[in-house]
């Protein structure tokens, strides 16, 4: 069901608690933000609220401090970067509840912004503690969720606060739901899904859910070794999820019965060890040397994928095709990103997480129809699950 957004409520003169996900790539202690794309993605909502004379209290988490204060994970550097992006002052307070947060929020005037401290400094956040949620909600009179990347977490700032305040979606949340919803419900055909990453187990739900919807399913990444072994290939020392081989074989059978191409790599880049600077070479999938590891797909696989993608109307991609953090094994992922960027007629949707990082690193985000901010959230959404942070928002019809 469609959710209400900031357009559907009166924000002028109100105080808005805006949940964002500023969990950005960050160098602890160095105040260095490697990628501020998540901050930039929230600017349309933030500017809309400020231009409509709302006072905005921002809340986010950063890293995994484990419910205690970790100095290196304070949000002050985030406030400073956001201030430069927004072009106006951004206040910052060293807690997210309590007297200091209350005083800072009370002083906030229409058109002003305040960033609260890291939510996860309090263990009650991840426990979805009702008293903690109520304390957060008391800082504002409206709640806007623009943190799609955290919408799959039933945390206090995500699921708890909407029990105490009128809750609607921001523009980023709205776009995420629209674009990913298009994959599930109204794709332009043919619909092609590309799934990579390390483990089959992480993607069982989305593999099963998408198989009945796609026109082709392409497999890469570390999980390809399990699919290749399920087809009878020897994969050397590549990690294989032995308990998922049955699932992979069954998926191949289902795909064949439905006439859906399920395409595994035809050639791979193998290495003598899992390291950045080791001997490596490209081989057909049936010639992986004993003791070697599959760390990327080869050019033949990209050409095979290309034949499917060039005819696609909609493409969804989640998961690198190789060990992208090692330059020698990033070529498959880079080649796929460039291929998708060249598809001018197709709707291209990139799942978040490391896939989005790869696209941003190559500077190709502008060539894609949509680059999701949420890796786990996008997978759970496409798995068919109801995300707690989405379910908590007011429906359009309410």
Q: What is the pLDDT along the chain (398 residues), one digit of tens a residue?
A: 699 999 999 999 999 999 999 999 877 655 678 889 999 999 999 999 999 999 999 999 999 999 999 999 999 999 999 999 999 999 999 999 999 999 999 999 999 999 999 999 999 999 999 999 999 999 999 999 999 999 999 999 999 999 999 999 999 999 999 999 999 999 999 999 999 998 999 899 999 999 999 999 999 999 999 999 999 999 999 999 999 999 999 999 999 999 999 999 999 999 999 999 999 999 999 999 999 999 999 999 999 999 999 999 999 999 999 999 999 999 999 999 999 999 999 999 999 888 998 999 999 999 999 999 998 999 999 999 999 999 999 999 86
**327: phi then psi, degrees, rounded to nearest 5:** -50, -35
Distance CA 326, CA 162 (A): 42
3-class state of residue 146 by DSSP: coil
Domains observed in the chain: 6-171 (3.40.50.1260), 187-382 (3.40.50.1260)
> What is the structure's pLDDT at 29?
57
DSSP H stretches of helix in the chain: 37-51, 76-86, 99-107, 123-126, 130-137, 171-185, 204-211, 224-230, 245-258, 299-309, 331-341, 354-361, 375-382, 388-391
Name the residue among 182, 175, 181, 165 with its Cα closest to residue 43. 175
What's the pLDDT score for residue 34? 82
Write out the catalytic residue numbers: 38, 199, 353, 376
pLDDT of residue 30: 54
DSSP line for 342-373: T-SSSEEEE-STHHHHHHHHTT-GGGSSEE-S
Count the Cβ atoms, other than its own, within 10 Å of residue 258.
11
pLDDT reported for residue 217: 98
Residue 352's pLDDT is what?
A: 80
């Amino acid at each position: 069901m469609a959710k209400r957004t900031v357009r559907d409520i009166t924000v002028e003169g109100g105080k808005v608690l805006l949940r964002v996900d500023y969990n950005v790539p960050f160098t602890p202690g160095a105040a260095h933000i490697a990628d501020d794309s998540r901050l930039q993605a929230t600017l349309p909502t933030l500017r809309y609220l400020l231009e409509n004379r709302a006072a905005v209290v921002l809340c986010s988490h950063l890293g995994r401090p484990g419910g205690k204060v970790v100095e290196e994970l304070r949000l002050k550097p985030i406030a400073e970067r956001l201030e430069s992006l927004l072009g106006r002052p951004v206040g910052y307070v060293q807690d997210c509840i309590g007297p200091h947060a209350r005083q800072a929020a009370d002083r906030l005037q229409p058109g002003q912004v305040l960033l609260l401290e890291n939510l996860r400094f309090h263990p009650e956040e991840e426990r979805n503690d009702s008293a903690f949620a109520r304390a957060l909600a008391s800082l504002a009179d409206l709640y806007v969720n623009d943190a799609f990347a955290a919408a799959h977490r039933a945390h206090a700032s995500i699921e708890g606060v909407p029990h105490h305040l009128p809750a609607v979606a921001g523009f980023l949340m709205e776009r995420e739901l629209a674009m990913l919803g298009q994959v599930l419900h109204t794709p332009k055909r043919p619909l092609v899904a590309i799934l990579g990453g390390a483990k089959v187990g992480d993607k069982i739900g989305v593999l099963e859910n998408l198989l009945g919807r796609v026109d082709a399913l392409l497999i890469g990444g570390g999980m390809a070794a399990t699919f290749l072994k399920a087809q009878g290939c020897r994969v050397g020392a590549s990690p294989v999820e032995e308990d998922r081989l049955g699932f992979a074989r069954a998926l191949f059978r289902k795909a064949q019965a439905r006439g859906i191409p399920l395409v595994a790599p035809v050639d791979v880049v193998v290495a003598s060890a899992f390291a950045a600077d080791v001997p490596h070479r490209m081989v057909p999938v049936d010639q992986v040397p004993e003791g070697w590891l599959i760390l990327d797909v080869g050019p033949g696989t990209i050409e095979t994928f290309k034949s499917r993608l060039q005819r696609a109307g909609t493409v969804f991609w989640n998961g690198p095709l190789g060990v992208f953090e090692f330059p020698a094994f990033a070529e498959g992922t880079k080649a796929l990103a460039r291929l998708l960027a060249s598809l001018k007629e197709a709707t291209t949707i990139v799942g978040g997480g490391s896939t989005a990082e790869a696209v941003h690193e190559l500077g190709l985000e502008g060539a894609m129809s949509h680059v999701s901010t949420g890796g786990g959230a996008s997978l759970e959404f496409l798995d068919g699950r109801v995300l707690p942070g989405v379910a908590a928002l007011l429906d359009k019809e309410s």
